[in-house]
C-alpha cells in the first residue's frame, strides 16, 4: 500500500506552544530522522519551544509522559517517536499493546494530546521507508497531528461570544 504525502502548506501557526518529543534509543539513526523532520515542521509552524528526551525504549514512553504531565501541566502536546521490530517472540505485541494503552491513559487522565508515531514493523526496510529523508517521513505526520490538535484545542478553549 502506498503511503500518503501529508500537506503541510496550510497548517495553522501555533505560537507559544510547548511540545515535548520522546524518542527511543533503539534504531537511533531512524528515530533521529523521524525526530528531525518532526521538529522541523513544528518550528516551521511557530512551535519554538520543543524539548526532546531520549529514553531507553518505547516501553518507557507512558511512564515518561505521565511524569512530564505531572511536573509540567502546561505542555500542549507530547510526540512519541520510535521503532519496534517484530521478532520471533510475543515481545513485540507486548510492547506495542502496553505503550498504546499506557499513552492513551496518560493522555486522557493528564488532559494532554499524545501523538503516537511509534513504527511497529516486521522488518527494518519498512521503518527505513517511513523514516527516510523525504516527504513520506512519519515525523512529518506526527508534527502535523500535534499542530492540528493544539489548534483545535485552543479553538475549543476560546470563550464564546454572544451573538
Q: Minimal CA–CA distance to 17: which of 46, 51, 41? A: 46
Phi, psi of 19 (to 5 degrees): -125, 135
Q: Is the dihedral of CA 126, 127, 128, 133 positive or negative?
A: positive
The rounded distance, in Å, linking the Cα atoms of 143 and 21 is: 10
First-last CA distance in the chain: 48
Residues with catalytic function:
91
Strand partners, 84: 120
Q: How far is CA 68 from the centre of its chain?
A: 14
Strand ranges inside 59-147, DSSP E: 77-85, 114-121
The three-class DSSP label of residue 21 is strand
Amino acid at each position: 500500500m502506498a503511503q500518503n504525502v501529508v500537506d503541510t502548506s496550510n497548517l495553522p501557526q501555533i505560537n507559544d506552544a510547548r511540545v515535548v518529543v520522546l524518542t527511543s534509543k533503539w534504531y537511533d539513526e531512524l528515530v533521529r530522522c523521524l525526530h528531525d523532520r518532526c521538529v522541523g515542521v513544528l518550528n516551521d509552524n511557530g512551535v519554538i519551544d520543543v524539548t526532546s528526551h531520549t529514553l531507553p525504549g518505547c516501553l518507557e514512553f507512558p511512564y515518561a509522559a505521565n511524569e512530564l504531565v505531572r511536573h509540567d501541566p502546561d505542555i500542549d502536546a507530547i510526540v512519541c517517536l520510535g521503532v519496534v521490530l517484530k521478532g520471533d517472540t510475543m515481545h513485540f505485541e507486548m510492547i506495542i499493546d502496553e505503550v498504546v494503552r499506557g499513552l492513551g491513559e496518560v493522555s486522557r487522565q493528564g488532559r494532554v494530546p499524545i501523538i503516537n508515531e511509534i513504527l511497529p514493523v516486521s522488518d527494518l526496510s519498512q521503518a527505513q521507508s517511513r523514516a527516510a529523508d523525504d516527504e513520506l517521513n512519519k515525523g512529518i505526520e506526527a508534527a502535523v497531528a500535534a499542530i492540528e490538535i493544539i489548534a483545535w484545542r485552543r479553538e475549543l478553549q476560546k470563550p464564546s461570544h454572544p451573538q
